[in-house]
Chains A and B, each alone.
Chain A
Amino acid sequence: MNENVRNPSEDTVIRAENLDLTFETTDGPVHALKGVSLDIQRGDFVSFIGPSGCGKTTFLRCIAALETPAGGTLTVNGMTPEQARKSRAYGYVFQAAGLYPWRTIAGNIKLPLEIMGFSRDEQEQRVKNVLQLVDLEGFGGKYPWQLSGGMQQRASIARALAFDAEILLMDEPFGALDEIVRDHLNEQLLALWARTGKTIGFVTHSIPEAVYLSTRIVVMSPRPGRITDVIESPLPKERPLDIRDSQAFLEVAHRVREGLRAGHSYDD
Chain B
Amino acid sequence: MTVLYGALAFWLAAWGVNTILARSRWSDLRAVRIFVPVLFGFTLLVLWQGLVRGLDVSPVILPAPTDIAATFANETDTLWVDFVQTVLKGALTGYLLGCSVGFLTALLIDRSAFLTAGLLPVGNFVAALPIIGIAPILVSWFGFDWHSKAAVVVVMVFFPVLVNVVQGLKETDPMQRDLMRTYGATYGQTLMKLRLPAAMPFVFNGLKIATTLALIGAIVAEYFGSPIRGMGFRISTGVGSLNIPLVWAEITVAAAVGTTLYGLVALIEKIVTFWHPSQRV
Contact = CB atoms under 8 A, between A and B. Distances in A.
Interface stretch (B3-11, B33-41, B126-134, B176-184): B176-184
B184 A96 contact: no
Contacts of A85: 181-182, 184
B184 A86 contact: yes
Interface string A47-78: 00000000000000000111000000000000
Given A98-B176, A102-B197, A116 B183 contact: yes
A45 to B, nearest CB: 20
Contact of B179 (A86, A87, A98, A145): A98
Interface in B230-281: 273-277, 280
For chain B, which range describes its interface: under 10, 10 to 19, 20 to 34, or 35 or more residues? Answer: 20 to 34
A114 B193 contact: yes
Given A101-B275, A114-B193, A115-B193, A66 B178 contact: yes
Nearest to A64: B182
Contacts of A94: 175, 178-179
A238 to B, nearest CB: 31
Interface centre among B179, B194, B275 (most CB of A within 10 A): B179
B275 A143 contact: yes
A100 interface: yes
B194 A100 contact: yes
B182 A115 contact: no
Nearest to A116: B183
Nearest to A169: B182
Given A98-B176, A100-B194, A115-B189, A88 B184 contact: yes
Contacts of B193: 100, 111, 114-115
B185 interface: yes
A102 B275 CA distance: 5
B185 A92 contact: no
Given A98-B176, A100-B194, A114-B193, A90 B182 contact: yes
A59 to B, nearest CB: 15
Question: Which secondary structure characterizes the binding site on chain B?
Answer: helix
A111 B180 CA distance: 9
Interface in A113-140: 114-116
A112 interface: yes
Contact of A100 (B183, B189, B197): B197
A66 B193 CA distance: 20
Contacts of A100: 176, 193-194, 197-198
Interface in A168-216: none
Given A98-B175, A101-B276, A115-B189, A66 B181 contact: yes
Contacts of A114: 193
B119 to A, nearest CB: 27
A237 to B, nearest CB: 28
Nearest to B272: A102
A96 B276 contact: no
Nearest to A97: B175
A177 to B, nearest CB: 17
A145 B274 CA distance: 11
Interface string A137-155: 0000001010000000000
Contacts of B175: 94, 96, 98
A193 to B, nearest CB: 20
B76 to A, nearest CB: 43
A262 to B, nearest CB: 32
A115 B178 CA distance: 14
A143 B277 CA distance: 12
A77 to B, nearest CB: 14
22 contacts: A65-B181, A66-B178, A85-B181, A85-B184, A87-B184, A88-B183, A88-B184, A91-B182, A92-B182, A94-B175, A94-B178, A94-B179, A98-B173, A98-B176, A100-B193, A101-B276, A102-B197, A102-B275, A115-B183, A115-B185, A116-B183, A145-B280
In the A-B complex, the 5 residue pairs with the closest CB atoms: A101-B275, A92-B182, A102-B275, A112-B183, A86-B184
